[in-house]
Amino acid sequence: MKVAVVTFPGSNCDYDLYKAIQQVGGEPTFVWHRERGLDGFDAVMLPGGFSYGDYLRAGAIARMSPVMEDVVAFAEGGGPVLGVCNGFQILCEAGLLPGALVKNASLRFESRDVLLRVENTGNLFTADYEVGDVLRVPIAHGEGNYQADEGTLERLEGEGRVIFRYVDAAGAATDAANPNGSLRNIAGIVNERGNVLGMMPHPERAMEPLLGSSDGVGVFTSLSRSLVPATS
């Protein structure tokens, strides 16, 4: 699995993603946002961070980067694209995912572990989980409050495109378990075709039990497995 990790000025989770990809046997390559061309890559990942200092709106300026034209083309061609945190914000700004991420309802930067319920496993990124699995994964964001109009939300739900939801220890999507005010506790969604996943929590920071959790590994193994045809 050859993965392009796109870096922008202000990305800060690029090395975490790089390591996570290596951990599952993939070959990561950093691609600077001014470079062009994503030929030869099996997947593209947009890391977390604060591209362009979050000026104007988080992700708004990064989405105008030269490489984003290639990311859009890659996604439209069916290539797998994962955006984490700022990467999710960039995917929304680029129109690859619906909705927008606005300031947390708490007005605070939320940096802590949260619990996520896996809502759908019929895609490239969560096939290694079971529906209903509850994962412990860290968040670290000031603008992760997912907003979309009612029609969009209904479509996302109806088409099974909500992939992760913030839940409590019992697996219930309560207000108390919602760290940022996201509508319907949405933490991660996919596009219509299912090849583009955006999520605010950081699976790449949940790769080692020693560091608190390895519940994020499944995102990377799922993708890796989906790209390697079964040989048995």
Active site residues: 85, 202, 204
- CB nearer to another protein: give 3 or 148: 148
CA distance linking residue 75 with residue 55, whole number of Å: 25
Closest CA to 4 of 70, 51, 101: 70
Q: Is 61 in the site for another protein (CB under 8 A)?
A: yes
- CB nearer to another protein: give 66 or 122: 66
- CB nearer to another protein: give 48 or 59: 59
Q: Is 148 in the site for another protein (CB under 8 A)?
A: yes
| Out of 93, 113, 119, 204, the residue judged to bind another protein by CB under 8 A | 93
Q: CB–CB of 199/88 below 8 Å?
A: yes
Size of the site for another protein (CB under 8 A): 21
Q: Per CB under 8 A, which of residues 181..200 are in contact with another protein?
A: 181
Question: What phi-psi label fits residue 48: left (phi over 0), alpha (psi between -120 and 50 degrees) or beta?
Answer: beta
Q: Is 147 in the site for another protein (CB under 8 A)?
A: yes
Q: Is 72 in the site for another protein (CB under 8 A)?
A: no
Q: At what angle do helices 14-23 and 217-227 cross, to 10 degrees?
A: 60
At residue 220's C-alpha, the angle toward residues 214 and 225, to 5°, is 125
Q: Which residues contact 99 (CB under 8 A, 6 or more apart)?
A: 92, 146, 147, 148, 152, 189
Q: Is 105 in the site for another protein (CB under 8 A)?
A: yes
Q: How is residue 171 written in tokens?
A: 């697996």
Q: Is 107 in the site for another protein (CB under 8 A)?
A: yes
Q: How is residue 136 written in tokens?
A: 């412990």
- CB nearer to another protein: give 2 or 108: 108
Q: Is 151 in the site for another protein (CB under 8 A)?
A: no
Shortest Å distance, C-beta 149 to another protein = 8
Q: CB–CB of 200/144 below 8 Å?
A: yes
Shortest Å distance, C-beta 64 to another protein = 6
Positions in the binding site for another protein (CB under 8 A)? 56-57, 60-61, 64, 92-93, 98-100, 102-107, 145, 147-149, 181
